């Protein structure tokens, strides 16, 4: 698609809203509208278990609302006036209290806590769940390791209602890591009954149904179509949610999602095209909330082990060829924070994300490509997650056009959302766009996930740098003991290396944009960027 055709298609989005929307209230007619929340989104979960293989981002939303963790975060008021999770303050969830010592933390469980089937939650369930998280491999195990939680021996049952977590070392990420989605508590008795010799952790069972103690439980799930969740009226992890029933309907067409909102049939949508959000905000008929991703960027990644992206000059050429401002204007409509074009004399900050110094310069890109030995360019593919096509597809069209100006012919590769995480983690995509947002809002956390050369699951660029690894590890150690001088040096060191070697090119810090009916309140921003149903209220 040519750029002028693409821009025409953007202006025609509103017309797409006239496409007849699916009838989606038939299964909820018996419920009071005030007690039922209808959510529409572009894509849905491919797995109901955060510990599952290749669980996608929508799957996180199910896990967050249907499982409990020992602790969670307190809330504060964000810059836009919206409740925002407090990175540094924690509160009990399944735990009744928490006692953090020098090299361990002890948690007393709420004795009234029960799983959805009525089984009491015990310390043995907590231990089995944490053992599971550090043992299944892949993303869950790496996430636990980010907080130095790596061995089943660290999780000690003191009595039926008390669990102790021993620390392997001082690490400021350990306690925060217990409040993310992964260390959820699973009904071990139920899952063990459905486990097999080949599947000792029961991942196939929990892929299809929830087995938690959380505020909601999945009543039914039709992959790619609909998730229905019912409130757990026996929940003790916090104040009882006001909304009894959640209907989460997958509506791939943005025009249909917008039409459902404007007609008042849907209550919430959070992945409309930015143009729609701008127009809906201007109309004043809906509540529109925009919040920058915490510790997150959308980027262009290049696999440095796949020629010609193993050549730093090729990567730099791509960085100079990207149409940054066109993307900001035509795709994002200003609803993002630029991560490009920093002044040449700007010093590196002790912060992440921060803008790099590349900007669109086609002449410079052509010269670098010629110096790299590709004066006539080359052919490649650029891949994206079709589950978030609203941003990814027009972004890739503009990138394709711009790379074509320097001789790089990039064929667009659309990967279904249900398969995206699996394909990305194979580390075989030469060129791709993706979003990464670190759940723990610290620079070293982002970098150990995305740039560390050893077992880093989201280092999908296959980037290897001993110096970068050393800076990341040193920053983690410096933070643990409060050594600010060395910490500052280390953060600047790994940011400088990332921008010099440029295996991935940050483009912008996205915003979470949420459109809600005026009678819906209680939206909170969380590190995982998904909806927390527990606080939502519908008048």
Task: Please report, for the domain that includes residue 171, its CATH number.
Answer: 3.90.76.10
The predicted structure's pLDDT at residue 9? 40
Q: Which helix (H) or strand (E) holds 62?
A: helix 57-66
Residues 472, 518 share a domain? no
Q: Which positions ≥6 away from 30 have C-beta within 8 Å? A: none
Side-chain half-sphere exposure of 209, counting CA atoms within 13 A: 11
Taking 70 as the threshold, does the pLDDT of residue 199 lie above it? yes
Question: Is residue 8 one of the residues assigned to a domain?
Answer: no
Taking 50 as the threshold, does the pLDDT of residue 17 lie above it? no
DSSP-assigned states of every residue in 450-465: HT-SSS-TT-TT----
Burial bucket for residue 162 (CB in 10 Å: 0-12, 13-18, 19+): middle
Mean pLDDT, range 515-531, rounded to an integer: 97
Q: Given CA atoms 13, 14, 18, 21 in this order, what sign does their dihedral have?
A: positive
Rounded to an integer, what distance in angstroms lies between the CA atom of residue 279 and that of residue 445?
A: 36
Taking 70 as the threshold, does the pLDDT of residue 407 lie above it? yes
Question: Is residue 263 one of the residues assigned to a domain?
Answer: yes
- Indicate which CATH number applies to the domain containing 488: 3.10.105.10
pLDDT tens-digit profile of 95-145? 999 999 999 999 999 999 999 999 999 999 999 999 999 999 999 999 999
Structurally, the chain folds into a number of domains equal to: 3
Residues 344, 461 share a domain? yes
Residues 450, 318 share a domain? yes
Rounded to an integer, what distance in angstroms lies between the CA atom of residue 385 and that of residue 376?
A: 29
Q: What is the mean pLDDT of the chain?
A: 93
Helix axes 443-450, 138-146, angle to 10 degrees: 150
Q: Which domain holds residue 136?
A: 67-72+87-192
Question: Is residue 322 one of the residues assigned to a domain?
Answer: yes
Q: By three-state DSSP, how is residue 194 classified?
A: coil
Question: Is residue 15 one of the residues assigned to a domain?
Answer: no
Question: Is residue 82 one of the residues assigned to a domain?
Answer: no
End-to-end, the C-alpha distance of the chain in Å comes to: 44
Residues 359, 337 share a domain? yes
pTM of the model: 0.87
Tell me phi and psi for residue 127, to 5 degrees. Answer: -60, -45
Mean pLDDT, range 494-503, rounded to an integer: 98
Query: Whats the size of the chain, residue-wise?
Result: 539
Residues 435, 333 share a domain? yes
Mean pLDDT, range 318-346, rounded to an integer: 97
SS3 content of the chain, % helix, strand, coil (to 5): 35, 25, 40
Q: Hey, what are 132's tokens? A: 């599971």
> What is the DSSP secondary structure assignment for residue 161, as one 8-state letter?
T
Residues 275, 135 share a domain? no
Decide which of 192, 211, 227 is a domain's last residue: 192
Question: Is residue 6 one of the residues assigned to a domain?
Answer: no
Residues 490, 365 share a domain? yes
Mean pLDDT, range 452-466, rounded to an integer: 92
The predicted structure's pLDDT at residue 4? 43
Mean pLDDT, range 161-165, rounded to an integer: 98
Tokens 């938690």 -> residue: 212
Residues 251, 150 share a domain? no
- Indicate which CATH number applies to the domain containing 250: 3.40.190.10
Rounded to an integer, what distance in angstroms lies between the CA atom of residue 92 and that of residue 374?
A: 58
Decide which of 160, 192, 224 is a domain's last residue: 192
The predicted structure's pLDDT at residue 18? 39
Question: Is residue 371 one of the residues assigned to a domain?
Answer: yes
Residues 493, 352 share a domain? yes
Residues 130, 209 share a domain? no
Banded pLDDT at 29 (limits 50, 70, 90):
low
Residues 214, 186 share a domain? no
> What is the DSSP secondary structure assignment for residue 306, as one 8-state letter?
S
Question: Is residue 14 one of the residues assigned to a domain?
Answer: no
Residues 232, 177 share a domain? no
Decide which of 150, 171, 192 is a domain's last residue: 192
The predicted structure's pLDDT at residue 33? 75
């Amino acid at each position: 698609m040519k750029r002028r055709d693409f821009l025409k298609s953007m202006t025609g989005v509103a017309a797409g809203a006239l496409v007849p929307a699916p009838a989606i209230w038939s299964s909820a007619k018996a419920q009071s509208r005030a007690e039922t929340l209808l959510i529409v989104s572009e894509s849905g979960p491919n797995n109901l278990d955060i510990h599952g293989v290749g669980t996608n981002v929508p799957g996180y939303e199910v896990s967050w609302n249907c499982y409990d963790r020992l602790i969670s975060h307190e809330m504060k008021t964000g810059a836009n006036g919206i409740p925002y999770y407090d990175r540094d303050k924690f509160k009990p969830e399944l735990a009744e209290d928490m006692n953090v010592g020098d090299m361990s933390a002890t948690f007393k469980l709420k004795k009234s806590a029960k799983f959805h089937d009525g089984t009491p939650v015990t310390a043995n369930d907590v231990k089995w769940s944490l053992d599971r998280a550090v043992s299944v491999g892949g993303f869950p195990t790496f996430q636990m390791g980010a907080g130095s939680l790596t061995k089943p021996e660290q999780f000690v049952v003191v009595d039926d209602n008390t669990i102790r977590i021993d620390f392997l070392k001082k690490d400021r990420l350990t306690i925060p890591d217990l409040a993310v989605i992964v260390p959820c508590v699973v009904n071990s008795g139920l899952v063990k009954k459905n486990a097999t010799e080949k599947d000792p952790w029961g991942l196939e069972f929990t892929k299809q149904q929830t087995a938690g103690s959380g505020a909601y439980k999945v009543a039914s799930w039709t992959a790619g179509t609909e998730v229905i969740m019912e409130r757990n009226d026996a929940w003790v992890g916090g104040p009882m949610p006001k909304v009894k029933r959640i209907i989460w309907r997958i509506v791939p067409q943005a025009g249909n999602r917008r039409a459902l909102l404007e007609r008042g049939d849907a209550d919430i949508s959070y992945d409309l095209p930015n143009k729609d959000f701008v127009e809906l905000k201007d109309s004043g008929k809906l509540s529109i909330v925009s919040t920058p991703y915490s510790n997150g960027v959308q980027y262009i990644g290049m696999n440095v082990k796949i020629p010609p992206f193993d050549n730093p000059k090729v990567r730099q050429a791509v960085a100079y060829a990207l149409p940054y401002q066109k993307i900001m204007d035509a795709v994002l409509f200003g609803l993002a924070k630029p991560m490009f074009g920093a002044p040449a004399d700007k010093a590196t900050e002790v912060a992440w994300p921060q803008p790099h110094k590349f900007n669109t310069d086609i002449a410079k890109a052509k010269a670098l490509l010629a110096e790299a030995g590709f004066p006539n360019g080359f052919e490649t593919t650029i891949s994206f997650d079709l589950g978030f096509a609203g941003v990814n597809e027009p972004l890739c069209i503009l990138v394709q056009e711009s790379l074509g100006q320097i001789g790089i012919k990039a064929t667009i590769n659309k990967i279904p959302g249900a398969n995206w995480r699996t394909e990305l983690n194979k580390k075989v995509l030469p060129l791709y766009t993706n979003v990464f947002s670190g759940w723990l809002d610290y620079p070293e956390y982002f970098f150990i996930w995305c740039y560390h050369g050893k077992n880093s699951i989201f280092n999908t660029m296959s980037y290897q740098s001993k110096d970068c690894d050393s800076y990341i590890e040193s920053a983690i150690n410096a933070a643990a003991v409060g050594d600010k001088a060395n910490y500052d040096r280390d953060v600047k060191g790994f940011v400088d290396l990332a921008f010099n070697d440029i295996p991935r090119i940050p483009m912008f810090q996205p915003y979470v944009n949420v459109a809600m009916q005026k009678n819906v309140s209680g939206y909170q921003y969380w590190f995982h960027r998904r909806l927390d149903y527990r606080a939502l209220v519908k008048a």
